A and B are shown apart, each in its own frame.
Chain A
Amino acid sequence: MKVAVVTFPGSNCDYDLYKAIQQVGGEPTFVWHRERGLDGFDAVMLPGGFSYGDYLRAGAIARMSPVMEDVVAFAEGGGPVLGVCNGFQILCEAGLLPGALVKNASLRFESRDVLLRVENTGNLFTADYEVGDVLRVPIAHGEGNYQADEGTLERLEGEGRVIFRYVDAAGAATDAANPNGSLRNIAGIVNERGNVLGMMPHPERAMEPLLGSSDGVGVFTSLSRSLVPATS
């Protein structure tokens, strides 16, 4: 699995993603946002961070980067694209995912572990989980409050495109378990075709039990497995 990790000025989770990809046997390559061309890559990942200092709106300026034209083309061609945190914000700004991420309802930067319920496993990124699995994964964001109009939300739900939801220890999507005010506790969604996943929590920071959790590994193994045809 050859993965392009796109870096922008202000990305800060690029090395975490790089390591996570290596951990599952993939070959990561950093691609600077001014470079062009994503030929030869099996997947593209947009890391977390604060591209362009979050000026104007988080992700708004990064989405105008030269490489984003290639990311859009890659996604439209069916290539797998994962955006984490700022990467999710960039995917929304680029129109690859619906909705927008606005300031947390708490007005605070939320940096802590949260619990996520896996809502759908019929895609490239969560096939290694079971529906209903509850994962412990860290968040670290000031603008992760997912907003979309009612029609969009209904479509996302109806088409099974909500992939992760913030839940409590019992697996219930309560207000108390919602760290940022996201509508319907949405933490991660996919596009219509299912090849583009955006999520605010950081699976790449949940790769080692020693560091608190390895519940994020499944995102990377799922993708890796989906790209390697079964040989048995």
Chain B
Amino acid sequence: MSRFRLEIRVKPRPGLLNPEGKAIHHALNSLGWSEVSDVRVGKAIYVDLEAPYADGAVEAAEAMCRKILANPVTEDFEVAVVAEAEEART
């Protein structure tokens, strides 16, 4: 078994109103970044787990997303391995 650190990105569905993103968008515009045309806020969840292979770790994380971490009505998700073995322990 190896230890993996996964980054799970939970993203708001395109087309869905994202009030937090809208507020930040306005803030950026008013701070002078007038070129900003859209902001959407999602979340990143970091999970450490043990699995025989990276694929297994990703599969487990995807199952977690379907079960609880993401709401399929409003959110999409992406899973990436960001660290393996030693690095994940720190």
Contact = CB atoms under 8 A, between A and B. Distances in A.
Q: Is chain B found bound to chain A in the same assembly?
A: yes
B73 interface: yes
**Interface residue SS majority, chain A:** loop
B1 interface: no
Contact of B71 (A60, A103, A145, A149): A60
Contacts of B19: 102-107, 145, 181
Given A56-B69, A60-B68, A147 B74 contact: yes
A104 B68 CA distance: 22
Contact of B17 (A64, A105, A149): A105
A64 B68 contact: yes
B59 interface: no
A105 B20 CA distance: 9
Contacts, number: 38
A95 B1 CA distance: 35
Contacts of B60: none
A100 interface: yes
A148 interface: yes
A212 B17 CA distance: 33
A225 interface: no
B69 A181 contact: no
Contacts of A57: 71
A147 B69 contact: no
B47 interface: no
A102 B74 contact: yes
Interface string B1-45: 000000000000000110110110000000000000000000000
A147 B68 contact: no
Contacts of B74: 100, 102, 147
A53 B33 CA distance: 34
A61 B22 CA distance: 27
B68 to A, nearest CB: 6
Nearest to A181: B17
A56 B73 contact: no
Nearest to B41: A103
A148 B73 contact: yes
A79 interface: no
A107 B17 CA distance: 12
Interface of A: 56-57, 60-61, 64, 92-93, 98-100, 102-107, 145, 147-149, 181
Interface of B: 16-17, 19-20, 22-23, 68-69, 71, 73-74
